[in-house]
Amino acid sequence: MENMQYAEELVREFLIFRGFTNTLQTYETELRTDIGKGFQVDKIMDLIFSVYIPKFQAEKLYGLLSFFEQYLSSSLSEAVLIGTLSKLEASILRYYIVHALQVGRSDRVVDFFAMRGRELLERSHDWTPWFAIPYIKNPHLDPEFHIYFSKEWFEAMHLSVRNFFCEIFNGSRLPALLKISSDANSTNSLKRDIRQLNLKLSQLQVLLEEKEEQLVQLRSVEGSNDSSSILHEEENGEDVYVEEDFPEVKVEHQETFLGHTSPISRCRFSASGNNIASASLDGTVRIWTYDSSTPASRNATIYCGTEILSLDWENKSDRLLLIGTSDGCIKAWNVDAKRVVCDLNTTKTFPSVLDVKCSPVEPIFVSAAASGGGVSNNLDNLGFASLTVWNMKTWKAMTVLPLGEDPPAITSLCFNHNGKILAASAIDGMIHMFDMSCGLQITGWPAHDSSISSILFGPDETSIFSLGSDGKIFEWSLQNQGQILWSRNCSRLRYPGDLKYCRHEMALDFSGRRLLVTSGSVRAPIYQVQGRRSGWRTLAHAASVTTVDWHPTLPIFLTGSADNSVRVTSL
């Protein structure tokens, strides 16, 4: 039934597109009176024997029979049915001739042979005697033709035709329109299987890397008692990891996108991972693909005319991209329609849309707007915050989340897996947690002595990661608030003083084991959150790495750079 409804919608869509309004009205009327909701052989039989033949519509009759022949010819396994159809077609056309003679319309027989005579002779010489039938005085008495005028022959032929049509459209031989939905479901099922297999493969690869690292360390211990390591040194009693000494990641494939003409400020994978959105300082957003098997029909360039501070993809349909700007605008771009479907505006008091995040479940998103400017990477100058929840069906503001009086600007947002909890980080170093079902803050704690530029839920959502503007990264326990589970200090990789336009950010891979962080260096560090290995370095850009993201299901990451390029790297 679901396939039938989907096919009906496709027909309706096509008729509207072509402007066949009269046909559409008839179609709607027949749908309303359709009881069986399936193949109805009686209507085809009525069309042939109660309309086309009695009204002498030979061309329409011939066209219908040709359609069935073409339909069966599309499958090589239907040779038997094609042979049967050829015999039944000859019988139906002969009945057309017999009926015309029975009602005294021999002229219709002459017209029929004038139109189709040559074609019939090319098919079979059995038709040769029939060319004389309109000139025979009593054809029903002629030994050559009298059988065709009998009631028994007609009833046998009628039953054979009915049985044949029932066989054509049995449950295993569906029209192409009804197969579309089934094929789409099968394709989606295969894609899910592929994602699960890729996930399992990536987990095995991570496990293999850990075992290899353990083996290397065991060999190192056997060969030398030197306690120093090239990956870390002791400083003030703490492990300090020198990112410059991290080994390069093992790359399977890397592609560089050079479509931008100014430094990259943001880049994001779509929810499916098939498309990428990247923004540059000149106010341009580009949507593109990295996989040649993915259609490029969604590729587009969006000119916003102002600085772009945030990007996020809608999670359900994978069709909408939200763009937050420095002039208080939030644009919703439909990648299939290739146009802005909604242009929202925050209040003039909060012009800088520092972040936007779509719920993974509900048709809503949250915007974090600030009263200060978003041009400088000095987060302390961003002013006060406003958190607004928007409805993506009506494109109207639903509520403003409470933050207290004159709250410091919110820089980063993150939903948990079911969209019930929203985490927000602020320039005063606070982490705020909101219950989205009631729109209230449920907890919060001071996480950094400086501004927080990026925040992420851990893979099992029992922890949350925060990146401070001072370069310190903490993984906080959500079960024991205030407890630090893991930390790193990448302050040496902060942006140089002339890089005024970027905020540091981080991205966690789908396994939750690898944390990719932006860098003032030409290489970005990838910290291993769990396991013995310290981390890796990305391959070098020509300038600082200004934005990062991970593919939602595969070991593939994005890096955008001040060298105007975006890279897709497959591990």
The position carrying tokens 């040194």 is 233
Provide the 3-class DSSP secondary structure of residue 259: coil
Instruction: Kindly give the interhelix angle for 79-102 and 106-123, rounded to the nearest 10 degrees.
Output: 160
Yes or no: say if 323 and 331 are a contact pair by the CB < 8 Å rule: yes
- Backbone φ and ψ for 190, nearest 5 degrees, come out as -65, -40
Query: Rounded CA gap, 278 and 288, in Å?
Result: 8
The pTM is what? 0.63
Query: Rounded CA gap, 6 and 13, in Å?
Result: 11
- Give the CB-side neighbour count of residue 161, counting CA atoms within 13 A: 24
Question: Looking at residue 232, what is its pLDDT?
Answer: 41
Query: Rounded CA gap, 461 and 168, in Å?
Result: 54
Nearest residue to 108 (alpha-carbon basis) of 165, 174, 54: 54
Continuous H helices in 294-386: none
State pLDDT tens for residues 215-270: 766 766 665 544 444 334 434 434 445 666 788 999 989 999 998 999 999 999 99
State pLDDT tens for residues 506-552: 999 988 889 999 999 999 999 998 765 688 999 999 999 999 999 99
Helix H or strand E encompassing 528: strand 525-528
- Bridge partners (DSSP) listed for residue 422: 415, 434
State pLDDT tens for residues 214-224: 776 676 666 55
Q: What integer is the mean pLDDT of 152-163?
A: 92
Distances (CA, A) of 224 to 154, 229, 258, 313, 388: 100, 11, 47, 51, 59
Question: Which phi-psi region, left, alpha or beta, contains residue 391 (left: φ > 0; alpha: ψ -120 to 50)?
Answer: beta
Residues 6+ apart with CB under 8 A from 512: 458, 459, 460, 529, 530
Based on the number of CB atoms within 10 Å of its own CB, is 419 exposed (0-12), middle (13-18) or buried (19 or more)? middle
CB crowding 11-41: b at 16 or more within 10 Å, else e: eeeebeeeeeeeebeeeeeeeeeeeeeebeb
Q: Dump the DSSP string for 511-564.
A: TS-EEEE-BSSSS-EEEESSSS--EEEPPP-SS-EEEEEE-SSSSEEEEEETTS
Yes or no: say if 509 and 555 are a contact pair by the CB < 8 Å rule: yes
State pLDDT tens for residues 32-71: 776 555 567 888 899 999 999 999 999 989 888 888 887 7
Query: Rounded CA gap, 432 and 403, in Å?
Result: 9
Longest CA–CA span in the chain (Å) reads 120
Residues 6+ apart with CB under 8 A from 51: 57
Mean pLDDT over all residues of the chain?
A: 85
Residues 6+ apart with CB under 8 A from 326: 306, 307, 308, 309, 351, 352, 353, 373, 374, 375
Instruction: Tell me the pairing of strands 385-391 and 566-570.
Output: unpaired
Angle at 78 between CA 76 and CA 83, to 5 degrees: 120
Return the CA Rg of the chain: 35
State pLDDT tens for residues 114-150: 998 888 888 877 889 999 999 998 999 988 899 999 9
Query: Rounded CA gap, 453 and 74, in Å?
Result: 60
Residues 6+ apart with CB under 8 A from 66: none
The position carrying tokens 């205030």 is 482
Q: Which of 78-92, 342-356, 460-474, 497-511 has the lowest mean pLDDT?
A: 497-511
